[in-house]
Each structure stands twice: as C-alpha cells, then as structure tokens.
Structure 1
Amino acid sequence: MTPPKLTDAQYEEALKRAGAVNRKKEETDYHIAKDDQGREQLVVLRPLGAAGRAQGLVQISTGTASLKDALNKQLLLFVCLAVLALAAGLITLLAVLRRTLSPLSELVDRVERIDAGNLDERFPATPIPSEIGRLSASLGGMLDRLNSSFEAEKEAKEQMRQFVADASHELRTPLTSIHGFLEVLLRGASSRPEQLEKALRSMYGESERLKKLVEDLLALAKLDRAESLKASEGELSETVREMEPQLRMLAGNRQVDFQLQHGLRCRYDAYKIKQVILNLFHNAVQHTDAATGSIKLSLDRAEGGVRLAVSDNGTGIEAVHLPHVFDRFYRSDSSRTRKYGGSGLGLSISRAIAEAHGGTIEARSEPGRETVFTIILPF
C-alpha cells in the first residue's frame, strides 16, 4: 500500500509548528488524504527531535475504512437507542394522556347532559389534586349555585302564585259582600230606613276592610322593591312614648305596662317603626281578654342593637302555627281573624320593615299563658 503524499505546503507548515518553542509535546498534526488508488487514509505527522529543535517529520498513515465502519456502527446503535427511547416515551405519554384526559372527557359528557330540567347531575371527584380536579370542583360548585338559584326562583314563583291567589280571595270577600248589599238596596230596601242604615253600615265596614287590605298590599309592594327608608339616628324610647296615648286608647280596659330603657340610640325610620309597634300592639289587643288582658311593651339593650318586645297574656299561638305567623295571609284561626277584620298581612309587614332596617323579628308563645314578639334593630 503506497502511503498518501501531502502537499509541500502542508509539510512545511507541520515542520514549522514542530519547531516552535512553545509547542506541547503531545500536539500532533492530523490530515485526511487519498493514496494513489483513491482510498482515504488518516495521515499523522510527528516531529523528530526535541521540542523547539525539530529536525524532520515522521509520517504515519492508516486507512479510514475500519474507523468509518466502527463510527457507522456506533451511529446506528445510537439511532436505534434513540428510536427505542422515543417509542417508550410516546407509549408512556399516551398512557399519561389517556389517564389525564379520561376524566376531562367524562366531564364534557356530563356537562352535555345537563340542562335546566336536570341540575342534579354531579361531577366525579378527582382523588389527586390537579387542574382537572379543580375544574371538576369549580363546575360542581357552579352547578350547586345554579341549582340553588333555580330552586329560589321556583319558590319565589310559587310564593307569588300563592300571594296572588290569597290576595284575590281576600279582595273577593268584601267585594262580594258590598255587591250583595247593593242588590238588596236595589230590590227595595232603600225605601225602608232601618234596612238602608244597616246595609250602609255593613258596606262601610266592608269598604274600610277593603281599603286596609289595599293599603297593606301597597306597603308590602313598596318593601319588596327595597324602597329606601328615611332612617335617621334617634332615641327609640321617645318614639314609643309618643305613641303611649294612642296605644292606651287602643287597649281599652286592658292593663298596659311600659318598661323603656332610656339612652338607647339607633338608626330607624320613625314612621315605619311606629307602624310595626302598632301592628304588634293591635295583634296583642285582638288576642287578649278585654277585662283581664295585660300587655307589656319593653325596650332594652341587646347584643349589637336595641331590643323592642311586645308581650301579652292572651290565647297564645300553637307550636304548629308559630313558624308561619309571619307568612303573608297566614291565619291560625281565620274565623277569629275575620271577626276583627284582619287580613293576615300585619305581621308580614312588620317582618319586612324589620329586615329593611337590617334587623330581625321573632315570636315565641306558650298557649294560654304568654306570647312575645321581639324586634332587634342594629345600632
């Protein structure tokens, strides 16, 4: 095998570098050249002599075919390993994606099944904290809120339907009565003074009841619209004292006791609070004996506000009726309430006014012994 020959310039350059003073001993010149048969060989040039005093060069050459074969085998090995690693990574990735996206696909399927008539659908719980788990929890919370909103809307519609039905019933009764008396008058009763006066008095009473009912309905409508109260800071005991003559007159022969703590100030609408006190006091008068009845109105400090209580020793309220006394048109004894011309709206109006002030109203009763209505207004 004839060794390849480099150009004179390459030999001179290699010799020049070999003679350099600062040349390191292990430095070697490498070249790729072809022999006379066109085969590629690796040529190595080594200097002769000590470093910095090179006297010649030694050329060593070997074929690159074996080196290329070894490199190609290494390259093929690395490519195969890379392909295997890629395949293993893809398999692992697909498994992870399938495990990750399966709950998401289930969420999508459940969302598609949900509509206004099917809000009971619930999303699966993801045991491992993840973004999908947070999404599932968020969707579940949103669904609960939507369900609550729909239930509240259904309840409001049912209450409105019941309210309209009750209001129509209450309005129909006095109108029917007035219509009946007018028919009697048209049939000739107007020519008899005693029947005429009786009919007119009855019509007047029914018209007063009708007027009161309409006024109560208008008051509730205004409170339902969250009409702003004309609230100002004042001493509630002074407002109650202003009503004392009117309340004692309304009580008749019943015993009335005022226990008012002075110096309690809060923000309230005096006109509205007077309406509440009058409603509660009138309710106590209706359900106590005219001769032995006793009504107490007290005012003191409560936690976070002022407490106003109206109590009586009347017939009381049965436990089954107590949770409903503030419902509109609710009457535990309709015949007794009709006797006094009530419509079942007074306590509803009282609760609406108390809540409009940011306060609360509640009732407790021991049938045959005591009934207490308590209002708490915030400072």
Structure 2
Amino acid sequence: MRAGRSHRWRHRWRHSLRVRLIIVFVLLALAMTAVFLGGMQRAFSTGWRDAARPVVADYMDRIVAELGTPPDVARAQALVTRLPISIRIEGPSVNWDSHPDRRAHGFGPRGDWLSRTTADGHRVSFGVGTLPWQREPQGIGWITLALLLVLILLAYAYVRRLLRPLDDIRAGAERFGRGAFDVPIPLRRRDELGDLAQRINTMARDIQGMLDAKRALLLALSHELRSPLTRARLNAELLPATPESETERAALLRDLAEMRDLISDLLESERLASPHAALHREPVDLAALIREAVNEHPDGQRVTPDFAADLPTLALDRARIRLLVRNLLDNALRHGAEASEPPRIALRRAGQGVEVEVRDFGPGVDAAQLERLTEPFYRTDSARQRATGGVGLGMYLCRLVAEAHGGTFTVRNANPGLAVNVVLPAA
C-alpha cells in the first residue's frame, strides 16, 4: 500500500504543474521567513543589545531599590505577576525564586549585567519570565497552523484559476483527436495561455478544412469512377464467350466487381464518418433482418443462429444494419472456413437494446492487432492474400454503422476464433 501511495505521489509530482507550483511557493515562503527571522535575530542580538543595555540596567537599579533591604518577597511577586520577568533572590535572610523550575534567562553571556547586590549582601538576579504567547502555546500554534493552511489554500485556488486554460486546452485536444471540431477551446484570458488556445483553435479549423476537402475529393472521385467501371463491366460481359477467353473474362469480371465494392464501401464509409451522417430509422425486427441476410448469403447455410426470445423492436437504418451484418458474416465465413465448428451469430438483450455477436472458430488474431482491426484499409498479415479477399474496409464500416446508431463495437479473441460484439441501444 505504501509503495502504491509513493508511486501515485511521484506520478502526481511529475504530471501536476499545480502541485509543483504550490510546493515551490511554500518552500519559498518558508525560506524567506527563515532568512528574515535569522537576519532580525542577528540585528537584535548585536546592535540593539548594546543600545538597550544602559536603559535596562538603570531600570533594574530602580526595581532593586523598590524591593528594599532586605528584599521584600511580596513586592517581588507583584512585579513578576505584573511584568514578564523572573526574579531570583539569594542571601543571608531571603532565598526566593519566582520560577524555581528553570534558571533565570539573562541577556548577556552569563546574565551578569542583570544581577544586583544589595547593601545587606543579597543578590537579586533578573531574567525573562513567562511571555504572553507562552501561556497558551497550543492556541498560538493552532492559529499559526490555520493561517498557514489558509495561505496554502488561497495560493492553490489562485494557481488553479491561473492554470484553468490548461484544462480547457487538454479537453479541446482530446475532442480534436476524436475528430470533433465543432466545439472550440474557450478563450478565458488574453495572456500566453489564451494565445495558445487561440492558435490551437486555428490549427483545428485548418485540419477540419483539410479533412473536409479530402472527404469531398474522395467522394467525388468514387462517384466519378462508377460510370467507367459500369461501362467496363458491361463491355466485359458482352465479349464473345469462347473456351479460350472464358477464364480471362471471369477474372476480369471478378476484378471489376471487387473495384465496384471498394468504391461503394469508400462512399459509405465517408458518408458515415461525416458528422452530419443521416440515418433513415424505422422500426426493425432485428432477428428477421439477420435471418434474411443469412439466407441471402451464398454460404449462409454454414452459419449457426442463436437468437433469444422476446427481443425488442429497435429504430434502425435497415440498409446500414444489413451492411453491418453482411460484412460480419463475410469476415466470419472467410476466416473460419477451415475451423472445426461453423460460425455462429447470436442475439440477446442488452438493457433496453440488443447485442449482436458474430463469432468464428478460426485461428483468431494476434492480440497486438486487435485494436487496429477497425482501422480503414488495415488487414492482418494472414488476410493479405488474394484468396481471402477484402480490402480492409469491412470492419471499419461495421464500427461506423454501430457508432452512427449510438452503439458500441468491440472485437476480442474468443479462443478459439474471433468474436465481434455490437450493442445497439434503443433510440
């Protein structure tokens, strides 16, 4: 436990500018106080002592004369009660000490200049008695501690207010990293931190402009490529079928179909990645929709369904959900083709929504690659061969569809195989 606390403190010290500033302020205040007190003590112990000695000596002579011969203990007690001094009387007839628990404190090396000898042989010694702050030391200590804590809290509040723009800048950087450029960093002050926030806002606007231009260019290119691809496919299908050219013709049609699917996926991914993506929601029986998608798939008979009863009807975009299911089925059937068990698709309740799980029993994916499976155009090493198909947009599209519906998309190794879980909440 102590090691954990020590680690947290070191982490906070390294990463919290506020804590370091407060500690620096406190240490600086303590150092200045020590220097001031040391200097003042040095000044009083040299110059002021020599200046005050004749005045104090004359005052001591008057007190000894007032005590009388022999010294009157009652008068001495009255003086000790009234003044913060201590008196000790030593002699042939009177021996009395106002503070018997400690010796009188003189101002000289031995306190000799604060001692007087009367005519009858009594020696009267004076010293510092009980000072006002020594009578209630606990109260003074608590008050001092409370004032110190108040000063530290005031300093922390000021530093926190001074560094508040850093919190705004950090939150803004996290938003911009997620691609949310619609909320800029608030400009609270016009100092260096305010200037930094304004520059980051300008950078975010520039990045948003470049991303919008890239998206517009990609959409335009994808849209313009559809027409020549359609004509090429039509011309390939109209070629005369001969035994010699049938293989080349089939390969050409397959490549054209792959390019068509790639362009369609690009268009759909850019539409879904846009912050203004529009969903055409309608009440959908998810179980019936998945059954249709499985039946329409060429290898759908290999998929094992596992649907729970009494699933709620959700408001979904039917076309996008069908795209999600089809891509997940393609992925599971492709990578679980040689597995001992067929792929499985399951439906179950998740609160007010529904959870879809598609699992294959293939080799799975290396743990280091799991987080990157939903990135665009990312494929694992085992999926880069032509035989496996795909261009690395399927999982990315599925994640976009789930997030557009306000759901979650997670990928995990099920040992064996890969499991994809999609949670679609109630709208």
TM-score with structure 1 length normalisation? Answer: 0.53
Q: CA deviation at 1:315?
A: 2.1
Q: CA deviation at 1:293?
A: 4.2
Q: CA deviation at 1:207?
A: 1.0
Q: Deviations over 1:103-131 (max 9, x none)?
A: xxxxxxxxxxxxxxxxx996755844377
Counterpart residue number, 2:144: none
DSSP-derived class of the 2:410 partner = strand
Counterpart residue number, 2:307: 259
DSSP-derived class of the 1:129 partner = helix
Contact 2:303–2:345, Cα closer than 8 Å, also in 1: no
Counterpart residue number, 1:215: 264
- Alignment partner for residue 337 of structure 2, among 286, 289, 302? 289
Counterpart residue number, 1:370: 417
- Alignment of 1:235 onto 2:285: yes
Q: Deviations over 1:294-344 (max 9, x none)?
A: 122111111342111111212222212112111111111255553233011
Change (3 A) 1:267 1:333: same
Query: 1 CA distance for matches of 2:177 and 2:261?
Result: 33
Q: Which letter does structure 1 place at the counterpart of 2:288?
A: E
Aligned residues: 237
Q: CA deviation at 1:200?
A: 2.4
DSSP-derived class of the 2:343 partner = strand
Counterpart residue number, 1:129: 154
Contact 2:311–2:349, Cα closer than 8 Å, also in 1: no
Contact 1:122–1:140, Cα closer than 8 Å, also in 2: no
Query: 2 CA distance for matches of 1:152 and 1:361?
Result: 16
Change (3 A) 1:290 1:260: farther
Q: Deviations over 1:180-234 (max 9, x none)?
A: xxxxxxxxxx999555333322221111111111000000011012311111233
Query: 2 CA distance for matches of 1:217 and 1:374?
Result: 23
Contact 1:365–1:371, Cα closer than 8 Å, also in 2: yes
Counterpart residue number, 2:273: 224
Contact 2:336–2:417, Cα closer than 8 Å, also in 1: no
Richer in helix (by share):
2
DSSP-derived class of the 2:422 partner = strand
Contact 1:258–1:298, Cα closer than 8 Å, also in 2: yes
Counterpart residue number, 2:354: 306
Query: 1 CA distance for matches of 2:285 and 2:414?
Result: 31
Counterpart residue number, 1:181: none
Query: 1 CA distance for matches of 2:240 and 2:402?
Result: 51
Q: CA deviation at 1:374?
A: 1.0
Change (3 A) 1:238 1:321: same
Change (3 A) 1:375 1:150: closer
Query: 1 CA distance for matches of 2:350 and 2:240?
Result: 63
Percentage of pairs with the same residue:
24
RMSD: 4.0
Counterpart residue number, 2:68: none
Query: 2 CA distance for matches of 1:255 and 1:202?
Result: 28
Query: 2 CA distance for matches of 1:343 and 1:135?
Result: 51
- Alignment partner for residue 404 of structure 2, among 336, 344, 356? 356
Counterpart residue number, 1:112: none
DSSP-derived class of the 1:211 partner = helix
DSSP-derived class of the 1:321 partner = helix
DSSP-derived class of the 2:299 partner = helix
Contact 2:364–2:418, Cα closer than 8 Å, also in 1: yes
Query: 2 CA distance for matches of 1:192 and 1:140?
Result: 70
Larger Rg, first or second structure (1 or 2): 1
Query: 2 CA distance for matches of 1:146 and 1:258?
Result: 43
Q: Which letter does structure 2 place at the counterpart of 1:371?
A: L
- Alignment partner for residue 205 of structure 1, among 254, 258, 262? 254
- Alignment of 1:323 onto 2:348: no
DSSP-derived class of the 1:376 partner = strand
Contact 2:308–2:349, Cα closer than 8 Å, also in 1: no
Contact 1:264–1:300, Cα closer than 8 Å, also in 2: no
Q: Which letter does structure 1 place at the counterpart of 2:299?
A: L
Give the 5 Å matches for 1:38-117.
none
Change (3 A) 1:144 1:259: closer
- Alignment partner for residue 138 of structure 1, among 146, 164, 180? 164
Query: 2 CA distance for matches of 1:309 and 1:192?
Result: 44
Q: CA deviation at 1:149?
A: 5.5
Contact 2:344–2:358, Cα closer than 8 Å, also in 1: yes
Q: Which letter does structure 2 place at the counterpart of 1:233?
A: P
DSSP-derived class of the 1:320 partner = helix
Change (3 A) 1:333 1:200: same
TM-score with structure 2 length normalisation? Answer: 0.47
